[in-house]
Structures are given as C-alpha cells and as structure tokens.
Structure 1
C-alpha cells in the first residue's frame, strides 16, 4: 500500500489520517488495540495507559504517559468503543488532554474505525489536536510536529500489522531492533488521506465522539 505525504492533504483539513490494511481476524485486531497492555506495546505514542473509572454510558476514563527518558509526559483522556454496526464495522472514539507544558500536543480528539473487508481489516484513525508550546508550538506544528506525529502513528500502525499478521512482537520492531534485516515497520505502508467521501477527516468521525465530548 503506497502512502501519500501528509503535505498532499487539503490545506483546509489539518487533521491527521492514517489507514492500513491488516490481514487478520477483526477480533484479533480489536483485542490488540483495545487492551491497554497490548496497545502500549505497538503504539509509540504511549508508554503506559491506565484505565480509571467506567462511566454509566460505557465510556472509559484513563490516564496515560509517554516516557521520553529525560522527561515523562502525563495526561488524561476518555475513550468509547462500540461494536453495534450492522455492517460489522467497529469504532472507538477518544478525547485526550494534558497540563504538561513540555508536551507538543495539547487537547485533542480522534477516532479509530475497524472496517472488515474480504482482504482483511481496514484499520484507520483520524485525529486532531491543539499544539502545545505556546506560540512556538503553533509555528512548528505544521512544519515539523504534525508531520512527525503522522509518521510516528503510521509506523506504529505497521508494527501492529506485523504483530497481528505474522506474530512478530512489537518489541522486535522497535528502537535499534527495527534496523535489522527482515520485517521492518514502515510508515509508507499506510495511507495519509481518506478515500473521497466529500467530508473532512473529523466530519467522518463516529457519532460516539460527540457523545463523550
């Protein structure tokens, strides 16, 4: 699957989009992404996710960490997973926030979609956020930060694919291990813009995202 540079998206839609085809059972992709302990193993955007209370509507509050060695970014969020679609499609909506002044990402919102097809599961995300770091962050975000965050997300999605399809543990495709010969996670295996729907990336979010807002 050839990727499309984030720079090729419409200037009016700054939200990030990542999509990958995973040739694995839907239930397996769901398990590896919805279980917090499994999630942090493949997703380089988090080093820890700790569930907190479950709300009456089923939404789950959580706190998260990203260990950068010299500093640990901490924040909170809420997620809401649904499995009721007649077509078999599943979704997960997310809100997140942090008070950490060193975080390049501030308040954000996004979603995951799991779309079953004859070839496998189209696993995709759309999300947007307010830049951190004040005025400097607003300057750097379109030039550096947003492009790096897209790459990090896409590479993480390919680590998930290798785990779900081939059973390769994410630990074997992280850090210096990913430089070895063999199967390497590559951001270019992901799409960076959705198929034409006439809507923006965030307009295509599931209804559940508004329900937890």
Structure 2
C-alpha cells in the first residue's frame, strides 16, 4: 500500500471498533471526510456507502465505496477493508482501496491503516499527487488518528481537539510573526541602549532565531492532536488482508 499510518491507543477494543465503524462517529474525528452515509444493504452483503469531503467552503467532492469487516478473528485481531471511487471531475483521487487493522498489544491497541489510490489528470495529476496531495493525505490521516486517540484515552472530543490545535497553531504563528517583525524593525531603537547597543545588536538575532525555533519545533501540548505521534513506516513488511480481495467495485 502507498500510505501507512499507525497509532497506539490505550482503549477498549469494542470502543475503538465502534468509533471507527459507526459513520456518525467516524466523520467526527477523520479530517478526510465531511460526511459518511451507509446505504441500504441485504443481509450478508458488503456495506456500501457514500462519502463527501469539503475541499473549499463552496466545493464538496463526493464518492462511493464498499466495505466489509472481520470482527472475530482467531488471533484476536480485527480487520476492515474498503474500496472507494469518486467520479467528480475535480477530485484528484479517482479510485483506491485500503484497510484498517486492530491489533491488541499489551494495555493498548495498534490501530493501523494501509491504503493507496490512483490519481486522475494524467501526468499533471501524478506530479501534483507526489508533491502535494499524497503528503497531505498522509499528514491528515496521522493527525486524525491522534485525534481519535485523544478522544478514547483522554475524553477530549474531536471538536475540542480541533479547537486546541487551532489555538496552538495560532500562538505559534504569532510568535513567529512577532519575532520576524522585531528582527526587521528599525535599528534606531538600538541606539537608545547607548554602549550596550553592539551587544544587543548581536544578541537580538540569536534570541529571535531561538524564539522561531521553539515555535516551530516545540512538541505539541498533550491535548493537541499531532501527526508526528503516529508511525508512518511499517515496522515489518505488511500485506493487504485477504478480505480486500473479496470486495467488488464501488458504484
């Protein structure tokens, strides 16, 4: 699979399964989707669904998918697989497939995903995907997994987690803005320091550089979701579950 994301979550397996398999709860924590709706199905058939992603305030891209899950496996793990496609001409993502695995591990669960997709728009689309869209999708998935972890482990709702993230990003941006503004301000202010001016002129850029570095690289607060907390490379070679091969094509 092209993208791999893994989070270790200290939670009950049934709770994790419910918050990832129930569309109403899934769409709350997953940044990649604005809406997920299950479609009617007959007993024993895979579940078909519609999804939508709000790309801009005035643009929503929709698609369809088909999924199936294995809630009881001999090794104690669970698996969910899906195929998806979007006919929307403005959607870079044409079609794809992926899976979720739930692996009990001591006092927690390794919740991991692998997925890949085919971009549209030919060579231009492939280039845009490699340089921008695929890294963005990887970040969004990891950030969402950590938001889910905060919901299960600390009781921080997805909505509150988003506000925490926005607040922290705003503070970091303000620190960088103030530092850059100070660095480029009129040097005449240093003249007021008299004989200390040369020392201040030497120290100010260093202090400002330190402030910018801290704003960029200080670890996020415990209640703020962060993609960096997730594993982005599989520890061992992974294979897509056999369940994925049983699924048909979305329609």
Q: Distance in 2 between matches of 1:144 and 1:62?
A: 27
Tell me if the contact between 1:102 and 1:132 (Cα under 8 Å) persists in the aligned partners. no
- Pick from 27, 31, 52 the counterpart of residue 44 of structure 1: 31
Tell me if the contact between 1:106 and 1:131 (Cα under 8 Å) persists in the aligned partners. yes
CA deviations 1:130-174 (Å, max 9, x no partner) are 013333211111111111100000000000000011111101122
Runs of 4+ in structure 1 displaced over 2 angstroms? 53-58, 132-135, 179-182
In the other structure, the counterpart of 1:136 is 124
In the other structure, the counterpart of 2:133 is 145
Q: Distance in 2 between matches of 1:20 and 1:38?
A: 18
In the other structure, the counterpart of 2:67 is 79
In the other structure, the counterpart of 2:145 is 157
More helix by share: 2
- Pick from 30, 54, 57 the counterpart of residue 67 of structure 1: 54
Which fold has the larger relative contact order, with Cα–Cα distance below 8 Å and residues 6 or more apart in sequence?
1
Determine which structure has more spread, i.e. the larger CA radius of gyration.
2
1:191 aligns with 2:193: no
Q: Distance in 2 between matches of 1:55 and 1:109?
A: 22
- Cα deviation for residue 33 of structure 1 reads 0.2
In the other structure, the counterpart of 1:118 is 106
**Mind listing any 5+ residue stretches in structure 1 that lack a counterpart?**
1-13
- Cα deviation for residue 38 of structure 1 reads 0.1
Matches within 5 A, 1:80-119: 80-119=68-107
Q: Which moved more, 1:149-158 or 1:47-56?
A: 47-56
1:31 aligns with 2:18: yes
Give the alignment's TM-score, normalised by structure 1. 0.86
Q: 3-state DSSP class of the match of 2:16?
A: helix
- Cα deviation for residue 92 of structure 1 reads 0.3
- Cα deviation for residue 186 of structure 1 reads 0.5
Aligned CA RMSD, in angstroms, stands at: 1.5
Q: Distance in 1 between matches of 2:42 and 2:141?
A: 28
In the other structure, the counterpart of 2:200 is none
- Cα deviation for residue 55 of structure 1 reads 4.7
CA deviations 1:169-190 (Å, max 9, x no partner) are 101122x541335511100111
1:53 aligns with 2:40: yes
